[in-house]
Amino acid sequence: MTGRSHPSSLEDKAFVLLVAAVTAAFAWIVWPFYGAVLWGAAIAILFAPLYRRLCKAMRERENVAALTTLVIIVVIVIVPLMLVGALLVRQAAGVYDRIQAGELDFGAYLLRAVDALPQWAVDLLRRFGIANLGDLQERVAAGLQAGSQFLAQQLLDVGQNTFNLVVGLFVMLYLLFFLLRDGDELAARIQTAIPLRPEQQNALIGKLTTVVRAMIKGTLSVAVVQGALGGLILWVLGVPASALWGVVMGLLSLLPAIGAPVVWFPLGVYLLATGRVWQGIVLLAFGALVISLVDNVLRPILVGKDTKIPDYVVLISTLGGLAIFGMNGLLLGPLIAALFLVAWDIFTASRRA
């Protein structure tokens, strides 16, 4: 009996190694399109309830329901993003050219703003230890210049990689159709294959689904609305590259304790300090009364009672995700952080049992 157990154990280990090897090889092959796979899976999770309702209304005609859901996603998500993306690339090219030509000088703009400050404001800055205003201007201007140039360059790179974007979009939409149609079956197969207890599987999968829906429905949707409102008011006020600044506001609103005010408040102060009084007042009022209230109004409606990750975890994981994965880190960072938290919760609960 003992002599037969050893070969069986060896065969099991060999098979596990084979599974790990072919899985790693498959991941290596798919890696160039991991962003398309990631967002396809995330959008499928978000729109799965709509697909199920359509499938029920269409008498279980799964292909038709999946195709209809895909068309809805293209119309309300993909097409608007493509239009905004084209506008951003055009504005980014203009900003980049102006920076390279020296026409866009943040140091001069900041100098004008500081020179226009009343004496009591200058005295207040000195009271807080900011006596060398020239040094402050140089550092802030250098930071703004570098940040603007980086963002413009990133958007230009996106525009220059149009072919890769088109291929990635095709892969995402193609995959999305099958994830919508076969998503429940695929999730069941994955759940069966995971070597964890049922309660652990339910906790991990439930957290994964909750975070994806919360990030897209809540965080990303609020960021899009805040960025759109910010870009709109800047366009109305005649601020150059309003769409680009709107995107910056949207991206910053993803980060707790930072948010869109980092953009609209200094711009409003600059408009006031440089004599464009009514534009500055309108921007500051709109930012405080409209843009800043969007988060408090929309997030509870869009997210509901979904589990919320602590703000400091969201901030660190989002910044880390952006640094490692680029724009895909907006979703991957908080997702990895959420799975980390739930995994440790499960481990702690099992130790207490």
Tell me, yes or no, whether 184 lies in a domain.
no
288 is in which domain, residue-wise? 199-346
Tell me, yes or no, whether 303 lies in a domain.
yes
CA dihedral 336, 180, 222, 262 (to 10 degrees): 50
Q: Which tens digit of pLDDT belongs to each residue from 330-343?
A: 788 888 888 888 78
Q: Which tens digit of pLDDT belongs to each residue from 2-22?
A: 445 455 677 778 888 898 899
* Of 217, 221, 230, 224, residue with least CA distance to 290: 230
Tell me, yes or no, whether 241 lies in a domain.
yes
Tell me, yes or no, whether 267 lies in a domain.
yes
Provide the number of structural domains found in the chain: 1
Residue 68: its pLDDT value, please? 94
Residue 1: its pLDDT value, please? 46
Find tokens 């109305």 and name the residue. Answer: 236
Confidence of residue 103 (pLDDT cuts 50, 70, 90): low
Tell me, yes or no, whether 44 lies in a domain.
no
0.85 surpassed by pTM = no
Burial of 318 from C-beta contacts in 10 A (0-12 / 13-18 / 19+) = buried
Evaluate whether 331 touches 39 at the Cβ level (below 8 Å). yes
Q: What is the mean pLDDT of residues 194-216?
A: 76
- Summary count for the chain: helices (H), strands (E): 16, 0
* Of 163, 164, 160, residue with least CA distance to 93: 160
Residue 109: its pLDDT value, please? 58
Q: What does DSSP assign to residue 254?
A: T
Burial of 292 from C-beta contacts in 10 A (0-12 / 13-18 / 19+) = middle
